[in-house]
Amino acid sequence: MSTSIDKLIETTQALLWERGYVGTSPRAIQDGAGVGQGSMYHHFRSKAELALAAEERSAAELIEEVRQILDGPGEPLERVLTYLRLERDILKGCRIGRLAADPDIVADDTLRKPLEETFAWITARLADLLHEAQARGHLPPGLDSQALAATVLAVRQGGYVLARAANSTAPYEQAIEGMVSLLTRRPEGSD
């Protein structure tokens, strides 16, 4: 059973993803959560405080979803490829990534912090796996695993932007498959 706090946070998560910070009014949050103004402001002093709680929950949910893949079974490179191909509602984009395009979120260090921390965690975990894949001979020596991890994340996030701009999943899928082909390409003369 959801509490009014949970309903407020869940509603705010959905509205931030769909409408952004400015487009998420306290009235829309209250209506969506089925709570009154008094209840909302009893639990959260401001819209910004509620938005931060929603961002933190979205970040935690994303990290847990990604952790299950990246810490799961299989070779390190295969886990990275599974992450790249993770099914999503491509045209809606990433709950965290979409907020990075919101000027009100990025202008506020407190509201921006969960985004930065989430992407830093994903990048670091990808870098560890890519370094391990390199040590096992599955990637060429000399690659900067940290830079490669940032590229993997950028391809995913950028793919969402391209898909939304085209109103088609094709650009996203093409970007992901391009990254996969780069990661799995064997140098000439290798067996």
Looking at 1.10.357.10, 3.40.50.300, 3.40.50.2300, 3.50.50.100, the CATH number of the domain 55-184 comes to 1.10.357.10
With a pLDDT cut of 70, the percent of the chain lying above it is 96
The residue extents of the domains of the chain are 55-184
Please tell me the number of Cα atoms within 13 Å of 74 on its side-chain side: 14
pLDDT beyond 70 at 188: no
CB 83 within 8 A of CB 69: yes
Mean pLDDT of 104-133: 97
Neighbouring residues of 58: CB distance < 8 A, sequence distance ≥ 6: 13, 16, 17, 95, 96, 114
21: helix, strand or coil: coil
Number of Cβ within 10 Å of residue 134's Cβ equals 19
Q: What is the pLDDT of residues 6-16, one digit of tens each?
A: 999 999 999 99
Residue 164 banded pLDDT, cuts 50, 70, 90: very high
pLDDT at 38: 85
Sign of torsion over alpha carbons 27, 88, 156, 174: negative
pLDDT of residue 83: 97
Q: Mind listing the pLDDT tens digit for each residue in 36-74?
A: 888 888 899 999 999 999 999 999 999 999 999 999 999
Mean pLDDT over 87-101 rounds to: 90
Sign of dihedral through CA atoms 7, 12, 13, 18?
positive
Instruction: Please tell me the predicted confidence (pLDDT) of residue 190.
Output: 53
pLDDT for residue 179 is more than 90: yes
- Overall average pLDDT of the 130-138 stretch: 96
Given a cut of 70, whether residue 112 has pLDDT beyond it is: yes
pLDDT tops 60 at residue 86: yes
The whole-number pLDDT of residue 36 equals 86
Residue 1 has pLDDT above 70, yes or no: no
Asked if pLDDT for residue 125 goes beyond 60, the answer is yes
The amino acid occupying position 84 is L
